[in-house]
Amino acid sequence: MLDAMGFEISGKLHVLFDAEQKTERFRKRDFVLELSDSRYPQHVLFQLTGDRCEALDAFSKGDEVKVEFGLRGREWTSPSGDVRFFNSLDVWQIERTSDGATTGGEPPMPEEPPIFSDEPPF
């Protein structure tokens, strides 16, 4: 754990998705990290946003990495009035654990909060 809202975890890159332009101002790129620290491996979805989307270009499926990220959550109300809650794991930095190469840039705190659309994140 890094600080009150920052976390760090290591694992193996399992799936890397292409970047998606969600709105005019919001772009994201997802990837799945396989965590094998227990008897049952977990596949956890992380996201990079904005200019950080390109950080994943330096990696391939199967790479062992360390990820620094923040936990974010939000409430969403559907057009029919149903309320749902969503969590996201927003990556600040990703580095290869085998050779120490780092990419992903600064934060750990984003300069401005991400822009959310009115649509659910699925």
* pLDDT > 70 in the chain, percent: 76
Count Cα neighbours of 63 within 13 Å in the Cβ-side half-sphere: 22
Look up tokens 């990703």; give the residue.
Answer: 94
**Could you give the CA distance from residue 51 to residue 28 in angstroms, rounded to a whole number?**
9
Give domain limits for the chain. 6-103
pTM listed for this prediction: 0.75
Q: In angstroms, how far is CA 39 from the centroid of its own chain?
A: 24
- Which residues pair with residue 91 across a beta bridge? 69
What is the CATH T-level fold of the domain 6-103, as seen in this structure? Answer: OB fold (Dihydrolipoamide Acetyltransferase, E2P) (2.40.50)
Summarised one tens digit per residue, pLDDT across range 2-30 is 555 799 999 999 999 999 999 999 999 99
Summarised one tens digit per residue, pLDDT across range 54-81 is 999 999 999 999 999 999 999 999 999 9
The answer to whether residues 68 and 92 touch, using CB atoms and an 8 Å cutoff, is yes
